[in-house]
Structure 1
Amino acid sequence: MQTDSLDRRILAVLQRRGRISNADLSEEVNLSPSACHRRVQRLEEAGFIKNYVALLDARKVGLPATVFVEITLQGQTDDILDAFERAVRLIPNVLECHLMAGTADFILKVVAEDTDDFARIHRQHLARLPGVAQMQSSFALRTVFRSTALPV
């Protein structure tokens, strides 16, 4: 599906304010409510809009510590990669897992209550991941900014 500048404006607004009413969205992008609704439905059906979510404040839910974990595997065969990827999906505190090109095979973004909680997560989950040869963890001291909005 091809998108035009109007579709991209709709996507930009929805990324910032996912709960905006169709009436307010149509006004913001200068389109009739029915045409705006049809475009949003088309963007959803085409997979441009994957989901609508609530973004939580990690501090308020008791998970203020962010830790980035670099993982090097024992090898990169399909079996080792598949086993690791299946297992890491099951760890609730892992928010993101990226297969990398570079010095580490994977980088994980992990949230925890504090250093003691991360030690528990490490001991009970991360250290038991299959195929891991080496791990290095880095604690974020402060989040300078965070965004989920893609530049459309």
Structure 2
Amino acid sequence: MKKLFESQPLAVLATQNGTAPYVSLVAFAANEKLTYLLFSTTRTTRKYSNLLANPAVSLLIDNRKNTIEDFRDAMAVTALGKVEPIENFERSIMEKIYLMKHPYLTDFLKSPTTAFLKIRIKKYIVVTRFQHVVEVSV
């Protein structure tokens, strides 16, 4: 999983507003132990308002190439957890992790209109070879 997370810059974040799921692409990064996934978003987005209403999320990270070989070779990981604010004491460490992977997002991350968040992971669901499923509790 760690290799997959390092190789993929984007993931699909699923939030819920009470009536329907909502998905969006986010730039993400993982801490060393894969207990947290980090992302940022503008505070005026639908995903952010959904997160305020319901912090339970899932995040899909995959390496598909949209070819027939994906049925054999692709790996997809669904991360299940809850979004939490990043506390002041940990922000500089989390920012370093995030910006090492996404240095081009420095200005965005520093903007007062941007929320920088972490997902505390409860479980990963790993799918390989199209149907081989393994659950990993964190």
Higher helix share: 1
Structure with more strand by fraction: 2
Query: Normalising to structure 1: TM-score of the pair?
Result: 0.24
Structure label with greater radius of gyration: 1
